[in-house]
Amino acid sequence: MPNQLESLRQYTTVVADTGDFDVMREHRPTDATTNPSLILKAVRKERYRPLLDKVVKDHAGAHLTELADHLLVAFGQEILRIIPGRVSTEVDARLSFDTTKTIERARGIIGLYEAAGIERERVLIKIASTWEGIQAARVLQAEGVSCNLTLLFCLPQAVACADANVKLISPFVGRIYDWYKKSAADKWDEQANTGVNDPGVQSVTAIYNYFKARSIKTEVMGASFRNVGQIIALAGCDLLTISPELLQTLSASEAPITRQLSPESAQKNATETLPCDEISFRYLLNDSAMATEKLAEGIRVFVADAVQLDQLLEQAKAG
């Protein structure tokens, strides 16, 4: 009898949402995603400290921003030795509103991978789904650099990404769920908002259906899960990136999983086509309090962790 993780693989590409190499060896995901928070969590573990120290030693004269990118790429290289697919490496969130500098930083990251003998097809450059980030991705995609647009909370963001020919988007399930639960406060009914009724699940389902009904090639990867029920409700989504804890939970269960999303069902759920110009994007994003607040909050959190990562690198340089 297959476990739930094995069953899920029949319908969806499983992605590990971690910087922990041991987790990847155990659960054998196809792809892996990283971000400053996950890398920070990893390098704080004693077993990964030598990797940070080696980066600092090998690039002693590098500026702090260069060192940070060298560290991210070092993690990416190790991950690609374990997984068969792609790794997502994030551009500094402090550049989320700077198209030009995001493009420059992304080119630098890809250059580091290519210098290490890694084909660019195995790397996704991760960028926040601001208007500026999406336009940076438009340029990068035209240059053959595949992008993963993250911190995505609503359909207007997804549509703008598709218009920019983005390779992959990461709509966040758990953070949407968090917002609605907090907003409802003591009126929140957990049982009534689980599975397909979960607001985060509904958001990703709407994006998936919109894309498949129009044969949009941009891949949809559900992200940021709070429980296994959210994952099971999105079985059939192109990809799902899953934390170590939930990968373990899925591996430990043999309860059946059935496909929930498919291109065929999406055709029955076709909705009105949204505009994707800048004014419409900004208006529609602003119209969603949830998406506006979670996008801003997500950038702040990633920036805070990037700053802490810088501090660790500075301490290693001084030490």
Q: According to the model, what pLDDT value does residue 26 have? A: 96
The rounded distance, in Å, linking the Cα atoms of 1 and 266 is 30
Taking CA 150 as the corner, what is the angle to CA 92 and CA 250, rounded to the nearest 5 degrees?
120
pLDDT surpasses 90 at 122: yes
pLDDT surpasses 80 at 270: no
Choose between 270 and 94: higher pLDDT: 94
pLDDT tier at 269 (50, 70, 90 boundaries)?
low
Q: Which domains are seen in the chain, by residue range?
A: 4-318 (3.20.20.70)
Q: What is the mean pLDDT of the chain?
A: 95
pLDDT surpasses 80 at 13: yes
pLDDT tier at 305 (50, 70, 90 boundaries)?
very high
Q: Are 151 and 298 in contact (CB under 8 A)?
A: yes
Q: According to the model, what pLDDT value does residue 36 have? A: 80
pLDDT surpasses 70 at 292: yes
**Nearest one of 192, 190, 195, 156 to 173, comparing CA atoms:** 195
Task: Cite the active site residues.
Answer: 126
What's the pLDDT tens digit per position in 23-59? 999 999 999 998 888 888 888 989 998 999 999 999 9
Residue 102, phi then psi, degrees to nearest 5:
-65, -45
